[in-house]
Amino acid sequence: MENTVVIKCGGSVLDELSPAFFASVKTMREQGMNVVIVHGGGPEIGKMLKQLNVRSEFVNGLRKTTKEVLAVVEMVLSGKVNKQLVTMFKQHGLPAVGISGVDGGLLEAEPIDGIKLGYVGRVTAVRVDLLQTLLAANYIPVISPLGVGRSGQTYNINADTAAGAIAAAIGANQLAFVTNVPGLLQDGTLIGEATAETVEQLLKDGVITGGMIPKVKAALSALSDALPKVMIVSGKTPFYEQGTWHGTTIRKEVGAYL
């Protein structure tokens, strides 16, 4: 779908989204862009698991998801976080519809590795027509990263991975990861522009760690001719003004897109 931006809002910044974040989304819509939001909620899930005394651990940045953990993930992502975000959009005059990847079979998924990770899924198909219908009616879809298997099983999907898969499926020409830092940092300094090759090197050198790893991996696999650049930006400050992105831009190669 031409002129479409997929924006992933990280759980790390959901409580700190500034009015400037919503103003940036408004600007994009005024410029005729279709906006699709995918949200995370890792910290909120962690808090709820703790309150309920349910243990969970991370394996390679992914939350090992037992049946008990899955019930909490579903409740927090498609309930609390999704509705909070929809309400925030409404308060800023933006019409949003919250759906999870289960609704309408939006995100079809299969288990990544049932033995090690339990109910953690990867996206195998996206019901693009559902998103197109909402966008055509001028709504902003706000998606929580749950998937549904062929047998009806629900899966927990990393929000960065889900955003990348949705961007590729809908044919978005822009993808942005909104998080709690200004972009990719090296020794505390913002990296304004990076090629896929540079990012691979930063991963190898251990400059990119923790929650930034699934983000850049999703960015690298989403890059294509149709999606020539991916942005990593802050949700605490304006991230898009007068056609300019503030943060890190990752391109396939130097000069791939200007």
Ligand X SMILES: CC(=O)N[C@@H](CCC(=O)OP(=O)(O)O)C(=O)O
Q: Give binding residues as ranges.
A: 41-42, 63, 156
Q: Does 145 bind ligand X (CB under 6 A)?
A: yes
Q: What does DSSP say about strands 193-195 and 248-251: parallel, antiparallel, or unpaired?
A: parallel
- 218: contact with ligand ADP by CB under 6 A: no
Instruction: Say whether 129 is catalytic.
Output: no
End-to-end CA distance of the chain: 20
Query: Would residue 15 show up in a list of annotated catalytic residues for this protein?
Result: no
Question: 């197109």: which residue's tokens?
Answer: 132
Pick between residue 134 and residue 176 the one whose CB is nearest to ligand ADP. 176
> Are 247 and 239 a contacting pair, CB within 8 Å?
yes
Is 70 a binding residue for ligand X by CB under 6 A? The answer is no
Stated as kind and residue range, the H or E segment containing 110 is strand 107-111
Binding residue (CB under 6 A) for ligand ADP from 211, 227, 246, 249: 211
Phi then psi dihedrals of residue 129, to 5 deg: -60, -35
Which of 42, 98, 164, 183 is flagged as catalytic? Answer: 42
159 binds ligand X (CB under 6 A): yes
DSSP class of residue 107 equals E
Q: Extract the annotated binding site for substrate.
A: 41-42, 63, 156
**145 touches ligand ADP by CB under 6 A:** no
For 252, the token pair is 């396939």
Residue 251 β-bridge partners: 195, 229
Catalytic (active site) residue 11: yes
For the window 208-237, what string marks contact with ligand X as x by the rule CB under 6 A?
---x--------------------------
